[in-house]
Amino acid sequence: EHSIASDPHDGRAHYYLGNALYDKKRHRDALRHWEASYACDATFATVQRNLALGYFNIMKDTERALHALEQAFAIDPTDARILYELDQLYKRLNVIPAKRREHLERHWELVVARDDLYLEYVTLLNIMQDYAGAIALLSQRRLHPWEGGEGTATRQYVFAHVEIGKQLLHSQQGQEAVEMLLKALDYPENLGEGKLTGAQENNIRYYLGCAYRDLGEMEQATHCFQLAARGIEEPTSAIFYNDQPPDMIFYQGLARLQLNDDEGALRRFSTLIAYGEQHLADAVKIDYFAVSLPDFQTFEEDLQRSNRIHCHYMLGLGYLGLQAFEQAREHFDQVLLLDIAHQGAMVHLKLVPDDEPE
């Protein structure tokens, strides 16, 4: 404040005071000083980056936030952190994956400079069904987990192998499908993370069962279906990255159908629907400090939006299991309306037939 009193046009003084005020929760005062800093020095990218966070998280003004962050990256197109945060903002604003991928490819030297950016690009490849490309990139780099990013590399590794395994199944290449799906159970060391105790792998075991069944190896198939049928059958809010995703309950149900346990399958599908209906309108909040949230929160998540996504996804899975395809499609469409890059909804929407039988 003394420096500003001496020289009101000292942009860095406004910037540093803004930082101090933001830390003290005087957010609007901080924004005023950051705006003054930018007015004094329009070549300072970091202050525009800070303004973007303030506009989004405090003012809830997405348009100004986007303009500020794009301006920050235009000022300093060598800043990999700003590129990562800009891509995170694009994701929050539901920018189509193809546009995000193209934007990252234009700045490839920055993408390879950071694990988080690199894995975001890998995720985009998986979203756009370039599974072989995702696997290739994952194999080329030694990755290091970071707080908020735990499980990202292994999740995309598994996703790519399962999706290729399913493609091989559909093309009646059962042995190749088995080999691909077995790889999904074994994480390479370079991913930087091992498998969590009690990791839920119902989807992998289910598709392995299908592959062995198609090969006529019924003993192996039954064993895989039995493994896929196990696990926690009560849904959760899935706040933390190691919480059981609802997909695993869905695959428990599919496996039980293969084992002729129709009652057990029905119970799981119905549980997904009941949870989704009961909690769709919940007012959600996290009122304690927590590590291992599913994503690093540069831009604060709308917890109500996240809850709606989660519940619509559960409803879609439950109705898909019951072969109520129209309802399943409606709920998966709702998920993708809220989050165009939701991998689970994309994958399971493809299991809904285009036309229901009359």
Distances (CA, A) of 253 to 22, 91, 161, 206, 210: 49, 32, 22, 10, 14
Q: Is the pLDDT of residue 231 over 80?
A: yes
Using an 8 Å Cβ cutoff, are 79 and 102 in contact?
no
Using an 8 Å Cβ cutoff, are 32 and 45 in contact?
no
Closest CA to 320 of 352, 342, 280: 352
Question: Which three-class secondary structure string do you get for 124-148?
Answer: HHHHCCCHHHHHHHHHCCCCCCCCC
pLDDT band (50, 70, 90) for residue 141: very high
Judged by average pLDDT, the poorest of 70-74, 119-123, 151-155, 331-335 is: 151-155
Angle between the N-to-C axes of helices 131-139 and 152-170, in degrees from 0 to 180, rounded to the nearest 10: 140
The per-residue pLDDT for 291 is 47
The token pair at 342 is 């939701």
Closest CA to 55 of 344, 334, 235, 298: 298
Interatomic CA distance for residues 12 and 201, integer angstroms: 52
The per-residue pLDDT for 1 is 65
The answer for residues whose C-beta is within 8 angstroms of residue 187's C-beta and 6 or more apart is 154, 157, 193, 194, 195
C-alpha 230 chain-centroid distance:
25
Distances (CA, A) of 294 to 96, 158, 320, 322: 21, 17, 25, 29
Interatomic CA distance for residues 77 and 150, integer angstroms: 28
Interatomic CA distance for residues 27 and 53, integer angstroms: 11
pLDDT band (50, 70, 90) for residue 286: low
The per-residue pLDDT for 292 is 47
Average pLDDT, the chain: 92
Judged by average pLDDT, the poorest of 136-140, 240-244, 263-267 is: 240-244
In this prediction, what percent of the chain has a pLDDT beyond 70? Answer: 91
Interatomic CA distance for residues 229 and 95, integer angstroms: 37
pLDDT band (50, 70, 90) for residue 145: confident
pLDDT in tens, 206-228: 999 999 999 999 999 999 999 99
CA dihedral 330, 331, 334, 340 (to 10 degrees): -110
The per-residue pLDDT for 73 is 98
pLDDT in tens, 255-267: 999 999 999 999 9
The ranges assigned to domains in the chain are 114-228, 231-358
Closest CA to 165 of 218, 203, 127, 198: 203
pLDDT in tens, 61-118: 999 999 999 999 999 999 999 999 999 999 999 999 999 999 999 999 999 999 999 9
pLDDT band (50, 70, 90) for residue 10: confident
pLDDT in tens, 178-208: 999 999 999 999 999 888 777 889 999 999 9
Amino acid in the structure at residue 162: V
Using an 8 Å Cβ cutoff, are 229 and 275 in contact?
no
The per-residue pLDDT for 62 is 97
Q: What is the mean pLDDT of residues 40-55?
A: 96
The full DSSP string for 195-211 is PPTT---HHHHHHHHHH
Check residues 151 and 113 and name the one with the higher pLDDT.
113
Q: Is the pLDDT of residue 52 over 50?
A: yes
pLDDT in tens, 315-343: 999 999 999 999 999 999 999 999 999 99
> Which burial class, exposed, middle or buried, applies to 144 when counting CB atoms under 10 A from its CB (0-12, 13-18, 19+)?
exposed
Interatomic CA distance for residues 188 and 169, integer angstroms: 24
The per-residue pLDDT for 198 is 76
- End-to-end Cα spacing for the chain: 74
DSSP 191: G
* CATH architecture under which domain 114-228 falls: Alpha Horseshoe (1.25)
Q: Is the pLDDT of residue 233 over 80?
A: yes
Sign of the Cα torsion 214, 215, 216, 220 reads negative
Q: Is the pLDDT of residue 273 over 60?
A: yes
